[in-house]
């Protein structure tokens, strides 16, 4: 996919990034953690409670899919336009998204350890 190849070029400054085809789109991974989602030629970054405000303040909404006729928003929000034009901006936003993915993984590990 040319768009995904372009994104990987922009992300060249971030070590360990790869793309995998999934669910009709692509997942962007770093060190085994998914931090980005590409669907319909749109890039979405992983968000959490700590980072979602940066996206919503810019009017960047979540990726939403439909399940049983109901909209299901995911914890991935549309990437800002400047990230698609500037490798430094892309890496900075991708690092935020990767940090959210790491926090989510740590949270899951803590929950699992409590059980």
Q: What is the pLDDT along the chain (115 residues), one digit of tens a residue?
A: 999 999 999 999 999 999 999 988 999 999 999 999 999 999 999 999 999 999 999 999 999 998 999 999 999 999 999 999 999 999 999 999 999 999 998 877 767 666 6
H or E element in which residue 108 lies: helix 87-114
Order of strands, sheet of 42-46, starting from the edge strand that comes earlier in the sequence = 17-22, 25-30, 33-39, 42-46, 70-78, 62-67
What is the spatial distance between Cα 107 and Cα 115, in angstroms, rounded to a whole number? Answer: 13
Lookup: tokens for 112: 């699992």
What are the φ/ψ torsions at residue 2 (nearest 5 degrees)? -60, -40
């Amino acid at each position: 996919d040319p768009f995904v190849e372009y994104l990987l070029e922009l992300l060249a400054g971030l070590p360990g990034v790869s793309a995998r085809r999934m669910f009709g789109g692509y997942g962007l991974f770093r060190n085994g953690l998914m931090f980005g989602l590409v669907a319909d030629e749109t890039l979405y970054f992983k968000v959490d409670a700590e980072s979602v405000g940066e996206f919503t303040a810019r009017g960047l909404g979540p990726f939403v899919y439909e399940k049983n006729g109901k909209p299901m928003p995911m914890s991935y929000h549309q990437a800002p336009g400047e990230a698609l034009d500037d490798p430094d901006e892309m890496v900075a936003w991708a690092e935020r998204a990767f940090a959210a993915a790491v926090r989510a993984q740590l949270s899951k590990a803590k929950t699992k350890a409590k059980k």
